[in-house]
Homo-oligomer: A and B are copies of this chain.
Amino acid sequence: MTQTSARTRTFVQALNEALDIAMERDPNVYMLGEDIGEMGGDFGVTRGLWAKYGEARVRDTPLSEAAIIGASVGSAMMGMRPVAEIMFADFIGECYDQLVNNAAKMHYMFDGQFKAPIVVRTACGGGFGGGPHHSQSVEGWFLNVPGIVLVAPATPADAKGLLLASIENDNPIIFLEHKALYRVKGDVPEGHYTTPLRRAAIARQGKDVTVVATMKMVHEALAAATELEKEGIDVEVVDLRTIRPYDAETVLESVRKTGRAVVASEAPKIGGLAAELSATIGEECFHDLKAPVLRVAGLDTPIPFSLVLEKYILPGKEQVIAGICSVMK
């Protein structure tokens, strides 16, 4: 990780820089997706790259999600490094087979003869009245799929470093971009650097309780920690960064230290990432735990349109605080 002076950038700008650098450095990198060309993508992440690299390397596609992923995988088998954009993560169900049965199994079933180094960038998460098909957290759809990598940055600096690391990595990667983070600003180092995959970050050190979180929930956890500091509760926040395969060591080490764990996830509680983390912590830290591992997660519903309803079912700072207080009892 070589990094020079840091500057303030938004999450979107950080992603855009990463794409620019990757395209610049490696002619095998190219991008494809809906409206990513002249328009620069629905959220502006690819802005300016079509003008700079031309339409052969920044390819607008029709609404053919299966073909987008298929084309990505096929070209990756040939040594190209496609970065596909699926406009909203909710639409990834359209190319689920391509990802689960093809990309994820390619290297394994053909005995290592092919690789599928694709990056599928996609905008996930709720909170803006997008309704049931524009707001979902989809990591749970892929948690039980060996071969798939799930990357989920929480900060602009990680967004850039993880995206570069993902593009340079040889595995099929779903790169989750939480829409609520797109406008978040933070220090972003200049130039090329990578943030290691499969390595969690300690977003905040603390000694009383561990909160494991991803993406927007990292920020909710940090806000909760700030608030609870006043009450004398010292919260450690672990930002998972890679969701599959994930960095169990860092998580377990933190829980062994604090003896208490809250796992926070925007997705519905049942059968999601929070369950996986809770199970692993329960298995490995049984004798260290002073309280049951608690899941703070979305309610078990689709995501409703009206903002009052959506707010009711998605977890935020308040729910994290309640969760922490419950395990501190």
- A238 in the interface (beta carbon within 8 A): no
- A164 in the interface (beta carbon within 8 A): no
Number of copies: 2
- A215 in the interface (beta carbon within 8 A): no
6 pairs from A and B in contact (CB 8 Å cutoff): A91-B97, A109-B305, A141-B144, A143-B271, A245-B270, A275-B279
Residues of chain B with a CB closer than 8 A to A304's CB: 108-109
Query: Which interface residue of A141, A147, A304 has the most chain B CB atoms within 10 A?
Result: A141
Residues of chain B with a CB closer than 8 A to A240's CB: none
Task: Give A284 Cβ to nearest chain B Cβ, in Å.
Answer: 8
Task: Give A106 Cβ to nearest chain B Cβ, in Å.
Answer: 9
Task: Give A116 Cβ to nearest chain B Cβ, in Å.
Answer: 12
Chain A 72-94 against B: per-residue CB contact (8 Å), 1 yes, 0 no?
00000000000000000011011
List 8 extra interface pairs beyond A146-B268, A278-B282, A283-B293, CB under 8 A. Answer: A93-B100, A101-B132, A104-B302, A105-B133, A109-B131, A271-B275, A275-B275, A278-B279
Task: Give A67 Cβ to nearest chain B Cβ, in Å.
Answer: 14
A291 touches B302 (CB 8 A): no
Q: Which 4 A-B pairs have the closest CB atoms?
A: A143-B271, A140-B144, A93-B97, A278-B279
B109 touches A132 (CB 8 A): yes
- A301 in the interface (beta carbon within 8 A): yes
A108 touches B276 (CB 8 A): no
Bound-state CA distance A272–B270 (Å) is: 11
B301 touches A292 (CB 8 A): no
B96 touches A93 (CB 8 A): yes
Residues of chain B with a CB closer than 8 A to A302's CB: 104-105, 108-109, 146-147
